[in-house]
């Protein structure tokens, strides 16, 4: 499930795996392994990925539709 969410969020933003790796501070091959579901991901790296996408952990794992970056900014300003 995490693998599909990451790929969806990344593609919605038009990012390559390399771009996500740069933004999150992770290695590109590690991002690829995560997206293919071929490794266990520690909470610290999950937090890095959530921060890169500017989403909370619940949204990263949840079944709700991902929030666009613009909508996320509006939600934070309203809070």
* DSSP result, the chain: -HHHHHHHHHHHHT--HHHHHHHHT--HHHHHHHHTT-S---HHHHHHHHHHHT--HHHHHSSSPPPPHHHHHHHHHH-
> What is the pLDDT, as a whole number, of residue 59?
85
**How many domains does one find in the chain?**
1
- CATH number for position 41: 1.10.260.40
> What is the pLDDT, as a whole number, of residue 1?
83
> What is the pLDDT, as a whole number, of residue 70?
72
> What is the pLDDT, as a whole number, of residue 14?
96
Residue 15: give the domain boundaries.
2-78
> What is the pLDDT, as a whole number, of residue 19?
97
> What is the pLDDT, as a whole number, of residue 45?
97
- For the chain, 79 residues long, the average pLDDT of each consecutive 10-residue run is 92 96 97 96 96 91 64 63
């Amino acid at each position: 499930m995490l693998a599909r969410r990451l790929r969806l969020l990344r593609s919605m933003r038009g990012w390559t795996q390399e771009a996500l790796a740069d933004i999150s501070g992770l290695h590109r091959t590690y991002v690829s392994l995560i997206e293919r579901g071929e490794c266990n991901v520690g909470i610290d790296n999950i937090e890095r990925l959530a921060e890169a996408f500017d989403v909370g952990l619940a949204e990263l794992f949840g079944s709700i539709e991902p929030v666009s970056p613009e909508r996320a900014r509006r939600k934070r300003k309203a809070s």
